[in-house]
């Protein structure tokens, strides 16, 4: 199906939904009681998405926020409240009906917030050709919209272009655990349902890295639908555009604390737990971002640690038999590869079958934030417990 045809059909469907009140594809959860205090009902009833805009929790007053696929404006109006009257919000959408509703309600929201003038502007445009100047955005948000763009890698490049050095994104979208087959790719109805356009988690995160973003990591995930053996699930991801010339850092060494025994970051640097590694200012800056801080010890001089050091962290599986229950783990942390203490090698976004003991390990505090765990078992599993390694360890 030609790209222009896909774009037009998706736009037409969302325009129709705005007029009819049809509930669109994606799972979402807003605090409507709070939003109703300043956002009109006309906007709230046409708000679609697959995750609340978690990135707005990090907004500081005066920042500039860009919402890709702003629809009726719900996320833009919440961003408007958070950035304050000195901040700025830009919403981009391709559907005239949505833009009309958003623009009509812009002065109403500003008045409800007590602003002398609105700090929100809505522009017509496409996600892969953003009508936004280069290097002007502090935070990019998007709620189940990039999935609808035929060329997502071009969208990621556009996001990187408009982000300020030091800027960030937090976006929610639908991805799949396997490549979407052609019979779904060419199903017009399922494009609007956020299915046909889904990338695998691997493709999605690697596409962001290829565009230039670093530290890409999972904020949260939620299972959504399973069709013909494919799992579709919602992920909220955050990543950073580091400054081109990093500020000087006094840290010259980094030591992996754990619980991973080995990590490979997005630049290909390998870290072994306990062994210090010389780092550049740019690398120290990256390791100082939230997804890395709990895992690394940053120091001015090399510091080696071992299992007797309280800074060392590890989680080992119980030495008991395990069961296979249909679980698969997908690494979604800011690393392209990671290893645990039971010799599992996880590669970003690639499903790896795991037994019950590994499920317990990955649900522990140090691991949980970095993994999506899905269950592919179509019906109840009744397999007996097994010892999957000679020493009683795990698979």
- Give the pLDDT confidence score for residue 53 in this predicted structure: 67
* Residue 35 burial (10 A CB sphere; 0-12, 13-18, 19+): middle
Q: Do the Cβ atoms of 142 and 208 come closer than 8 Å?
A: no
- Which tens digits make up the pLDDT trace of 343-355? 999 999 999 999 9
pTM of this structure? 0.88
CATH class of 3-240: alpha beta
* Extended beta strands in the chain, E state: 64-68, 88-93, 120-124, 137-143, 163-176, 214-227, 230-240, 253-256, 262-265, 270-272, 276-278, 296-299, 327-331, 335-339, 345-347, 352-354, 371-375
Confidence of residue 228 (pLDDT cuts 50, 70, 90): confident
Q: 42: which residues sit within 8 A by CB, 6+ positions away?
A: 72, 101, 104, 105
More confident residue, 190 or 104: 104
Q: Do the Cβ atoms of 48 and 142 come closer than 8 Å?
A: no
Mean pLDDT across the stretch 305-319?
Answer: 95
Q: From CA 325, how far away is CA 395, in angstroms rounded?
A: 13
- Which tens digits make up the pLDDT trace of 112-167? 999 999 999 999 999 999 999 999 999 999 998 898 888 999 999 999 999 999 99
Task: In the chain, list all ranges with CATH 3.40.50.150.
Answer: 3-240
Q: Do the Cβ atoms of 303 and 255 come closer than 8 Å?
A: yes
- Give the pLDDT confidence score for residue 320 in this predicted structure: 86
Q: 64-68 and 88-93: which strand pairing?
A: parallel
Q: Do the Cβ atoms of 89 and 81 come closer than 8 Å?
A: no
Q: Do the Cβ atoms of 253 and 269 come closer than 8 Å?
A: no
Backbone angles phi, psi at 248, to 5 degrees: -60, 135
**Statement: residue 52 has pLDDT above 70:** no
DSSP H/E element including 5: helix 3-20
Q: How far, in whole angstroms, is CA 27 from its chain's centroid?
A: 15
- Give the pLDDT confidence score for residue 25 in this predicted structure: 53
Round the average pLDDT of the chain to a whole number and report it: 88
Q: From CA 294, how far away is CA 312, in angstroms rounded?
A: 11
Mean pLDDT across the stretch 34-46?
Answer: 91
Topology of domain 320-395, per CATH? Ribosomal Protein L9; domain 1 (3.40.5)
- Give the pLDDT confidence score for residue 6 in this predicted structure: 46
- N-term to C-term CA, the chain: 44
Task: In the chain, list all ranges with CATH 3.40.5.100.
Answer: 320-395
Mean pLDDT across the stretch 96-110?
Answer: 96
CATH class of 246-314: alpha beta
Q: 335-339 and 262-265: which strand pairing?
A: antiparallel
């Amino acid at each position: 199906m030609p790209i222009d045809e896909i774009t037009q059909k998706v736009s037409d469907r969302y325009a129709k939904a705005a007029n009819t009140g049809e509930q669109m594809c994606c799972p979402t959860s807003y605090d409507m009681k709070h939003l109703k205090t300043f956002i009109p009902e006309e906007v709230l009833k046409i708000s679609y998405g697959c995750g609340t805009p978690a990135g707005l929790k990090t907004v500081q007053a005066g920042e500039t926020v860009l919402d890709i696929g702003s629809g009726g404006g719900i996320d833009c109006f919440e961003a408007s409240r958070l950035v304050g009257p000195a901040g700025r919000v830009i919403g981009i959408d391709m559907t005239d009906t949505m833009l009309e509703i958003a623009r009509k309600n812009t002065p109403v929201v500003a008045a409800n917030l007590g602003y002398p003038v609105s700090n929100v502007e809505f522009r017509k445009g496409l996600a892969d050709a953003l009508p936004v100047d280069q290097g002007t955005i502090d935070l990019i948000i998007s709620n189940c919209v990039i999935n609808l763009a035929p060329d997502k890698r071009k969208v990621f490049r556009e996001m990187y272009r408009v982000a300020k050095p030091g800027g960030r994104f937090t976006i929610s979208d639908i991805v799949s655990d396997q490549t979407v087959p052609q019979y779904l790719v060419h199903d017009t109805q399922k494009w609007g349902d956020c299915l046909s356009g889904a990338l695998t988690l691997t493709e999605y995160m690697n596409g962001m890295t290829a565009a230039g973003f670093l530290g890409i990591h999972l904020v949260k995930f939620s299972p959504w639908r399973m069709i013909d053996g494919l799992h579709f699930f919602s992920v909220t991801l955050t990543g950073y555009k580091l400054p081109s010339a990093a500020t000087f850092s006094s840290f010259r060494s980094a030591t992996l604390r754990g619980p991973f025994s080995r990590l490979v970051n997005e630049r290909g640097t390998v870290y072994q737990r306990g062994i210090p590694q010389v780092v550049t200012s740019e690398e120290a800056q990256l390791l100082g971002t939230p997804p890395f801080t709990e895992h690394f010890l940053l120091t001015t001089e090399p510091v080696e640690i071992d299992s007797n050091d309280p800074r060392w962290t590890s989680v080992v599986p119980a030495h008991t038999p395990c069961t296979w229950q249909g679980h698969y783990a997908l690494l979604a942390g800011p690393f392209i590869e990671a290893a645990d203490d039971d010799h599992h090698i996880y590669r970003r976004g690639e499903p790896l079958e795991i037994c019950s003991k590994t499920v317990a390990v990955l649900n522990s505090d140090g691991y949980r934030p970095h993994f999506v765990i899905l269950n592919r078992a179509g019906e109840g599993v009744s397999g007996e417990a097994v010892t999957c390694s000679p020493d009683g360890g795990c698979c």
